[in-house]
């Protein structure tokens, strides 16, 4: 009987101290590390490009169509011109993408590209992946947003 009481006390202590980990809505909130939620400049996955973005909306809000400006440089900081760039936005926790199909609509020169059709239809964690192909090299970068 004493063993049962001690075991119950231990379980209760773990639950109250938070060692059991997040669950339910709390688990969804912890999906994105805080340091990654609003990074606007990242190295691509393979390290070939340095990519940054700015949004015409600050802060980015839901249900508003807007454009981004994407700046792409090589790993040495030289602007990448003439790149082919595709865009994929998704909400991984919910298993769906954006209600629009964003795309690069203009190469503004100097490694700067205009991305139109950005729209997020709900709050939560979003991933926006840019796949960049230039000079025979293809690499991707994913920005994490929490709206």
Mean pLDDT computed over 70-89: 97
145 touches 118 (CB < 8 A): no
H helices of 18-100, where?
25-29
**25 and 47: one domain?**
no
Choose the weakest-confidence range: 6-15, 70-79, 90-99, 132-141: 6-15
Q: Note whether 125 and 83 are same-domain residues.
A: yes
Residues 70 and 11 in one domain: no
Residue 4 sits in the same domain as residue 50: no
Domain range enclosing 90:
35-146
- If asked whether residues 26 and 89 sit together in one domain, one would say no
H helix or E strand, kind and range, residue 69: strand 66-74
Please answer whether residues 120 and 93 qualify as being in contact, where contact means their C-beta atoms are separated by less than 8 angstroms.
no
Q: Are residues 10 and 39 in the same domain?
A: no
Q: What is the pTM of this model?
A: 0.75
Counting the structural domains of the chain, the total is 2
């Amino acid at each position: 009987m004493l063993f049962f009481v001690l075991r119950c006390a231990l379980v209760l202590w773990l639950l109250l101290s938070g060692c059991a980990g997040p669950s339910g809505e709390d688990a969804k909130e912890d999906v994105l590390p805080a340091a990654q939620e609003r990074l606007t400049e990242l190295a691509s996955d393979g390290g070939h490009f340095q990519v940054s973005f700015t949004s015409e909306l600050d802060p980015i809000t839901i249900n508003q169509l807007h454009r981004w400006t994407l700046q792409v440089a090589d790993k040495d900081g030289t602007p990448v011109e003439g790149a082919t760039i595709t865009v994929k936005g998704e909400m991984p926790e919910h298993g769906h993408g954006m209600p629009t199909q964003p795309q690069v609509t203009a190469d503004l020169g100097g490694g700067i590209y205009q991305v139109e059709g950005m729209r997020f239809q709900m709050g939560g964690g979003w991933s926006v992946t840019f796949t960049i192909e230039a000079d025979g090299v293809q690499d991707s970068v994913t920005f994490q947003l929490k709206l």
